[in-house]
Amino acid sequence: MALAASYTYRLYGISIKSPWPLPCAESADATPDPVELVEAPAAFFGAAAYEASRHPNAGQWFQQVRLRDGSVYLRWSGLFEFLVSVDATHLTVCRNDNISDEALFTYLLGHVLSFALMERGLDPLHATAVMVNGGVVGFLGNSGYGKSTLAGAFLQAGYPIVTDDLLVISGNETGLSVHPGIPRIKLFPEIASIVLRSQAAGTPMNPLTRKLVIPLDRSHAHQEVARLKALYVLAHPSVSKHSTRVVVRRLSQRLGMLALLKNTFNRFVVEPPRLHRQFDLNGQIVSTVPIKMLSYARNLTSMAAAR
């Protein structure tokens, strides 16, 4: 039997009802169309899993399929199964018994939740962001480019994390706002021990990686909507592997637009309404805030200099 929702939260600009307590403060300011998280047994996913098994990507560790009824089935083999309802109002999960809540929330409140965000007109970027002198600074880049590690350097210097990995920006006539995510950061143990010291304890993200999911307390996480100040696109680590210099170069609006499109979060949804919203928002971003390319060697000295 599925667990009923009993907690309400506000994350990434939307309301979420959850059967589990999430590692953030509950919110009484619920929107009229909350996303409901539901846990269900494996049998609930039988028909969806069978349909997905007939797709060409069925043998991959990660599988994502749009089913005939319009819902989306996602599976990380050996970890979780998820089903996103057609209107993205319900996100249903089945997990293996040995999977921690922290690991579950990393996937559920990241890639899976992005479907609900897009259904509500929000288009997330693949980025990590920190609060610096009253405004949000975001770092864009592929997995492995060092977004969270650079954010950890800011955390070490007293600048709180706004969101890690999934960045939601909304725009209106007064400017661009960033909606805070779940207060946690994903870091490898050796980096976490340097930037967080005694608070570096975390839970492995999944059995295949050493990266830890580390909860952040109020002093390390900014949990209010804030104005976007700038975005930095991280160059591939190999570009400045042997360099001793930190290079910052402002991108033209055209190159900035391409960088935003390249670093979109969730490329699975390509229907015209999503693409129109994406281009409109990205156009507002490149015309409102500076977007810069940042290149630096991935070592502690250069990381501090980049900060």
**Residue ranges covered by each domain of the chain:** 7-119, 125-306
Tens-digit pLDDT profile for residues 12-66: 999 999 999 998 888 877 677 899 999 999 999 999 999 999 999 898 999 999 9
125-306 topology per CATH: Rossmann fold (3.40.50)
Cβ-based neighbour number of residue 206 at 10 Å:
17
| Rg of the chain (C-alpha set) | 19
pLDDT more than 70, % of the chain:
98
Over residues 270-274, mean pLDDT: 92
pLDDT value of position 1: 45
Residue 266 has pLDDT above 80, yes or no: yes
Tens-digit pLDDT profile for residues 160-215: 999 999 999 998 777 899 999 999 999 999 989 988 887 778 888 888 888 999 99
Tens-digit pLDDT profile for residues 63-88: 999 999 999 999 999 999 999 999 99
* Integer Cα distance of 63 and 55 in angstroms: 9
Token pair 């290149």 is found at: 295
Q: Are 75 and 90 in contact (CB under 8 A)?
A: no
* Integer Cα distance of 237 and 144 in angstroms: 8
* Integer Cα distance of 265 and 260 in angstroms: 10
